[in-house]
Amino acid sequence: MEPDGRDKRREPRFPIKTGAAVEVQKRGEIVSATTVNISGCGALLEFEIPTHLKVGDPVVCEFDVTREANKPLPCWGVGDVVRVDGRQVAVDFKAGGLAPLVSEADGAEPGESETGAP
């Protein structure tokens, strides 16, 4: 019996539907999407209309994951587009975390001080 593609996945996928803001790094545009599923190493996103994303495009994804009522848990991933199929786009994460991309207190990105230095 030949294993299907799912057996080759690095991490299990979870059918979590949540909002996502996807920043296309080459163009600086931010596009809204919804997750179809998500894992520790990637996400399958669905857009309302077909996107101009291409395989290899670097993106930053920020997800609306809720930990308590009306208090979203900042969850983000940086990666590359690995598949485009109509309105669905698969992203392979290179890094990610459970923290805001920009500090709410001082506007600095994670690991930076107010001056922008690490």
* 36-82: pLDDT as tens digits: 998 888 999 999 988 889 999 999 998 887 666 666 566 888 999 99
Res. 111: pLDDT tops 50: no
CA dihedral of 11, 15, 21, 23, whole degrees rounded to 10: 30
pLDDT at 16: 86
Look up the domain containing 85 and give its range: 13-97
Average pLDDT estimate for 72-96: 89
Residue 99's SS3 state is coil
Considering the domain boundaries, does residue 90 fall inside one? yes
Rounded to whole angstroms, the Cα distance separating 68 from 83 reads 33
Average pLDDT estimate for 16-25: 90
Considering the domain boundaries, does residue 4 fall inside one? no
Considering the domain boundaries, does residue 42 fall inside one? yes
For the chain, the domain total comes to: 1
Q: CATH number for the domain including 51?
A: 2.40.10.220
Nearest Cα to Cα of residue 94 among 76, 83, 80: 80
Considering Cα of 59, then 64, then 66, then 72, what sign does the dihedral take?
Answer: positive
pLDDT at 88: 96
Considering the domain boundaries, does residue 80 fall inside one? yes
Rounded to whole angstroms, the Cα distance separating 14 from 40 reads 10
Considering the domain boundaries, does residue 105 fall inside one? no
